[in-house]
Amino acid sequence: MRLAILDRGHSLGTKILFLLIRAASRQPVLDVIKLVKYRADFYGKPMQRVTQEAMRGPSAWPVADRELMAAFVAKTNDCEWCRKAHAAVAEEAYRDGAIVSAVLSDFETAPIEEPLRATLRMLCRLTREHAVNADDMRAVLAAGGSREQIEDALAICFSFNTIGRLADAFGFLLPGPKAFEAGAKYLLARGYR
């Protein structure tokens, strides 16, 4: 990472935790973990509360769709690290890698329900152009999406518009696929706490 403090500046207790994670998972500690554990009171803990609510709290979307949206927002932001990380979680959650690949390749032709497709279209515009208007929202509602689904999708978008920027700005190191697979299993079992 571009800031040495994010690699090596953690407290002794956190360094011991990282040793345990490495021993248990037999994988390197993911850079996102190093980020949220660095001076966790400043960013990590309050951000984890937001992301836990968005990704695992009560929602009109199942977890698999939420992880897919996270990967989709990351892809739209050109954040390779978050796209790969959350595509791995979505694949595990759907138990179907093909649907995730299809959406990330071209959501307009992917075999998904129309409310999800319209929601992804709105999230794409919001992420790419940094704003949307009432017509964009009416299009989602007209496709069968509910107000609740839109608000829940926007919460996911908020989280991953934050995390993706930090992954790219701090220069997260891309690990191998096995590390993302281990991370995916952890996130499905334990969430973002």
| Binding interface with another protein (CB under 8 A) | 2-6, 9, 38-39, 41-43, 46-47, 49-50, 53-54, 57-60, 77-80, 122, 126-127, 130-138, 141, 147-148, 150-152, 154-155, 157-159, 161-162, 164-171
Distance CA 86, CA 107 (A): 16
CB of 34 to another protein, least distance (A): 12
Distance of alpha carbon 127 from alpha carbon 2, whole angstroms: 25
Q: How far is the CB of 165 from another protein (least distance, A)?
A: 4
Q: By three-state DSSP, how is residue 109 classified?
A: coil
Smaller CB separation from another protein, 39 or 185:
39
CA-to-CA dists, residue 39 to 6, 48, 67, angstroms: 9, 13, 26
Nearer residue to another protein within complex by CB, 28 or 44: 44
Least distance (Å) from another protein to the CB of residue 135?
A: 8
Min separation Cβ 104 and another protein, Å? 16
Q: Using CA atoms, how far apart are residues 143 and 193, in angstroms rounded to an integer? A: 34
| CA–CA gap between residue 172 and residue 33 (Å, rounded) | 11
